[in-house]
Structure 1
């Protein structure tokens, strides 16, 4: 075989071996990495100490109890319900309250399956092997989602407390259920495409497919209350006084939680695209014929400013980031500089945020809640208190300290109310624009919905 300068040859290996045997940094790194976990032994003690769990601005009430999504991709629903319960705790003098992510999860699965069927119908003329169709077929029953997708479910079905629709086994361990749903949905896709290619009407078949998905979900997850079905919410307040309220899922969302979904907007930091522009991911959604998932793209500094404003206004903040990058679950710290990787000659700052997204090194993968922020004398944020949904044994009793550097480099989304845009010097009229930056379905900014 002819030699090529592009091949790895044995002479090069011998040369590199001798070279690195005399390189002290490489030898030190080998001594460490061959006997221990780098994440355990490269902790920067000074940075660990600097990430203090003290904040000069904190919301008045933090949600209790600490929630645990377990073996599921429901972070977006936990972050959403953790945000919404805070107002109810204050309103009804509660020590703690659990809303039901499972109720939202059931209806998201049902609607998501129907949305998938719609996408298959819309694209039946595309080759089954096309990137677009293959993207839909990749994981049609996924657990993930976006804030706007949550509001779509709330608007149609409402919300209930956890006592009315608690977790089942399959809401906390979704792997087997998703596997079976995926098979069924791919089978439906084949049936629909073949029927449409033959010029047949598929409306009756689609209705039967919806019915079958609903049947499977009731077996796996149980029967949820209907949107207008009355239930009784019972609780003890902080004073030990028993209270009960008769309501429905839709009224619980509107009257108890006072959640008006049109009030909210998702801010995005995507440095690949122009700022002060609306961005949407094509064909990202869960309710057929529902609203598109739209973001307002702003600088990272604006997102941080939005968080500070909301926390000072006594409101928690839903946010989406790239996790578990630079997250120490034992110490409860999220910080790019927590590890001395440079001791190994490894530079974690060699790529910009834009470059990491473009080259597949970073994407939005997890949603959590910010409940406090520490700002310096100039009013600039230094660190944040983050409520996660991995149980009280994760982090510092379920909470994490997140650095400003991590926020700037790996946070992509925060959710605010539209009337808060003025505090960011952003004209709310931009939300009325019909000029969108449209990203493909498989773009990293849609990754939170594909977990």
Structure 2
């Protein structure tokens, strides 16, 4: 039976507060400065010095501005790093707007296909509600970008630059989602009216024609062929004519995306380690690469990231960037705030508890570009963010403590050459039959 709060309860709570000698002083500082500033720990700044025993120089950081495309920026950063070195290009970026265009187009089709697939489920069904909550958005995961590149290739940023709507995506997202929900009404009605598959397909094609037009108006039209001009670091002019997005990718990037696999660390009871998982309703390209994750223990998970960095290759990773993070200083550390001590409460949860109870999930993707090893063990990590050079005190780079990695990093993308033979055998055996997680599982969260 429920029990109401009584006056006696309140009197006791007030007396408990009054009996603490520090209560008024703490109340004053928190009221004037907020919880984070009042609990900020100077010791975290001292520990997070920008020195690393393993470090890859990657140049200037990019800026996703007011959009949720960190997963694209992070992935394209890992691809531009070797390209910059090989062709001696300073400040070079791949076009995030090009992948953004095709992502939104493919996500629209992915949504419409799922609307048709679930049309016989009633409104109010959890799966239908999940679809309608966000028909499409900016966020994504590594495998989703691979699906786009495998189908559409890449282009330099100079060939398809940013627009107002790519850098400030809220208006486009709101408009496109209204259109897609309207389309969902029509598609569900067509299924309810027992229309033929051909009639439904014709209606969907007209809907995609509208989506394409909206995207061209807001993002520009993606190039089919282009000439690429650039001047290298030695002031030498170059021009490459009649490139296609796929031929550009093959010649200038050339990563075999099949070799790059997603590893996760999810210490929850529903995901035994050393198995492969996918997530229902997660993806963008219908018929394209499926999102797949192999769940590893934290030590194995972290060791793979170290190996890849030691080999001179940066690492795409997904984390909950807002937790124990000081954006102004560019520090991510579990002790950056001491809220428990300030407020006199226990706020501790295990990583599994945070995932199970909705306290944490992947929210942001970045790139590991360095690690500091002491006696072979990581103590802190260098992180390339995509919030521009003004974020943090290190020209857009962040410093992450190893303890923060343990608690809030959920995904790393690793070249399979660094995996053990046992890990590769599991991936091969479960590639076509991964365990399917619910659409709302935290491992299906999209990085923004």
| Common fold: TM-score over 0.5 | yes
Give deviations 1:34-78, integer Å, cap 9, x for gaps: 11123223222222101110000012x30x332111111100000
CA positional deviation for 1:25: 4.4
Residue of structure 1 aligned with 2:381, choices 380, 384, 398: 384
* 1:22-171 → structure 2 map (5 Å cutoff): 22-59=19-56, 61-62=57-58, 64-171=59-166
Distance in 1 between the 2:218 and 2:316 partners?
29
CA positional deviation for 1:346: 5.1
User: Structure 1 280/5 Cα, relative in aligned 2: closer, same or farther at 3 Å?
Assistant: closer
Distance in 2 between the 1:127 and 1:83 partners?
43
CA positional deviation for 1:420: 1.3
User: Structure 1 342/267 Cα, relative in aligned 2: closer, same or farther at 3 Å?
Assistant: same
Kept in 1: contact 2:334–2:403 (CA 8 A): yes
* 1:14-413 → structure 2 map (5 Å cutoff): 14-59=11-56, 61-62=57-58, 64-201=59-196, 202-226=200-224, 229=225, 231-246=226-241, 247-272=243-268, 273-345=271-343, 350-377=348-375, 379-395=376-392, 396-413=394-411
Distance in 1 between the 2:2 and 2:111 partners?
49
Q: Compare 127-136 and 6-15 and name the one that shifted more.
A: 6-15
Q: Compare 358-367 and 299-308 and name the one that shifted more.
A: 299-308
Kept in 2: contact 1:421–1:427 (CA 8 A): yes
Structure 1 length as normaliser, TM-score?
0.94
Q: How many residues align?
A: 439
Distance in 2 between the 1:408 and 1:77 partners?
24
Structure 1 residues without counterparts, runs of 5 or longer: none
User: Structure 1 216/237 Cα, relative in aligned 2: closer, same or farther at 3 Å?
Assistant: same
CA positional deviation for 1:344: 2.0
Q: CA RMSD in A?
A: 1.5
Q: Secondary structure at the match of 1:120?
A: helix
Structure 2 residues without counterparts, runs of 5 or longer: none
Distance in 2 between the 1:23 and 1:75 partners?
45
Q: Secondary structure at the match of 2:286?
A: coil
Give deviations 1:136-178, integer Å, cap 9, x for gaps: 1111121100100000000111111100000000001111111
Distance in 1 between the 2:345 and 2:247 partners?
52
Kept in 2: contact 1:68–1:391 (CA 8 A): yes
Distance in 1 between the 2:355 and 2:24 partners?
32
| Runs of 4+ off more than 6 Å | none
